[in-house]
Structure 1
Amino acid sequence: MGIYAGFRKRFIAIVIDTIILIPFLLMAKSLGFEGQLFEAVICWAYFSGMESSPTQGTIGKIVTGIKVVDLEGNKITWKIASVRYIGRVISFLLCFGGFLIVPFSPKKQGLHDMLAGCFVVNKAYISGIC
């Protein structure tokens, strides 16, 4: 296991996060809040809020033992987390291409990580990433 979190751990984390988000999205829809914009706002708040929090990751990342850091290994800000989320949307629109580059990137970065200037690392290897 290296410093940077690989595709498998990151994929498992996003599956867990999706399972967590589905009930919230369904509940919001049942209350009359629908539409892709509303869903995007819920997802943006979840991902940006959790990744810029002291946990430095979503529930999926916490469970898999990974976290998001900036280029110096520090906690990311809400602004960087928001840029990262926008990069995720772009990666999704590119037929997942921005995510599929993770296994081939030397530092296991996806397009969203590169745009935001951050890494996803294994918690056991948080020092000396630069």
Structure 2
Amino acid sequence: MMAPGEQPKTRFRARRGVVQGHRTSLNQHKERDRMQEQHLEYAGFWIRVVAALVDTVLLMMVTFPLLIAIYGWAYFDPFQTGFVAGPADVLINYVMPAVIVIVFWNVIQATPGKMAINARIVDAKTGEKPSTGQFVGRYLGYFVSIIPLGMGLLWVGIDRKKQGWHDKLAGTVVVQDTRPEPVRFEKSGPQREPTLD
């Protein structure tokens, strides 16, 4: 025999579950509507590959001249320098890029490559600027993404929010502004009335 009050509790729990489900659905709709209003979408895999290539080339333009100035062209011969050429190698190849990237993220939420594709890094829950701790965690998360044959980076291509493992660890997403650039023309001078010759 059912104890008094048991059925109402069950109904209450069921209703509470339905309400929570509706709230989750409403929050998802609000997030999608907010992103549509701002002309934002999650930046996909290939466009982020383009951004990464731009950043890589720019970093090489900074690091290679320094490494050549310190170690000479022998730096590119692994039989002479080994895996790590020296303290300057660690500083230039690992520490300096980390500092540069995290500073860019912290100041403008993007590296030059992401700026070129109108993308920026935001907090996955609020859409606001992530904290410095999130940025540091995101950078360290790159190593987690790269080590297993780059699976954490390839994950961007199949994830619903286009998050790599480093994004998931840091609680961030990369969004792209898809708003079309308005056409503007320079103001022309005063028009002259046609004259009869």
Structure 1 and Structure 2 fold alike (TM over 0.5): yes
Contact 1:49–1:78 at 8 Å: present in 2 too?
no
**2:50 is the alignment partner of 1:12:** yes
The alignment partner of 2:139 has SS state of helix
Superposed CA deviations along residues 30-73 of structure 1, whole A, max 9, x for unmatched, are 343633454111221122111111x2100000001111001211
Give the counterpart of 2:121 among 28, 52, 68: 68
**2:62 is the alignment partner of 1:24:** yes
What is the alpha-carbon distance in structure 2 between the residues aligned to residue 60 and residue 2 of structure 1? 17
Counterpart residue number, 2:82: none
Root-mean-square deviation (CA), in Å? 1.9
Greater relative contact order structure (CA < 8 Å, 6+ sep): 1
Note closer, same or farther for the CA distance 1:2–1:8 as it changes in structure 2 (3 Å cut): farther
Counterpart residue number, 1:80: 134
Superposed CA deviations along residues 78-105 of structure 1, whole A, max 9, x for unmatched, are 2211111111122222221110000111
Note closer, same or farther for the CA distance 1:31–1:78 as it changes in structure 2 (3 Å cut): farther
Identify unmatched segments of 5+ residues in structure 2.
Answer: 1-38, 71-86, 180-197
Structure 1 or 2, whichever has the larger Rg, is: 2
Identity across the alignment (%): 30
What is the alpha-carbon distance in structure 2 between the residues aligned to residue 37 and residue 110 of structure 1? 27
**2:174 is the alignment partner of 1:120:** yes
Structure-2-length-normalised TM-score? 0.58
The alignment partner of 2:41 has SS state of coil
Identify unmatched segments of 5+ residues in structure 1.
Answer: 126-130
Q: For 1:15-54, list aligned pairs within 5 A.
A: 15-32=53-70, 34-36=88-90, 38-53=92-107
Contact 1:28–1:34 at 8 Å: present in 2 too?
no
Contact 1:2–1:122 at 8 Å: present in 2 too?
yes
What is the alpha-carbon distance in structure 1 between the residues aligned to residue 138 and residue 88 of structure 2? 24
**2:41 is the alignment partner of 1:3:** yes
Tell me how far 1:9 sits from its aligned partner: 1.2
Give the counterpart of 2:143 among 89, 93, 108: 89
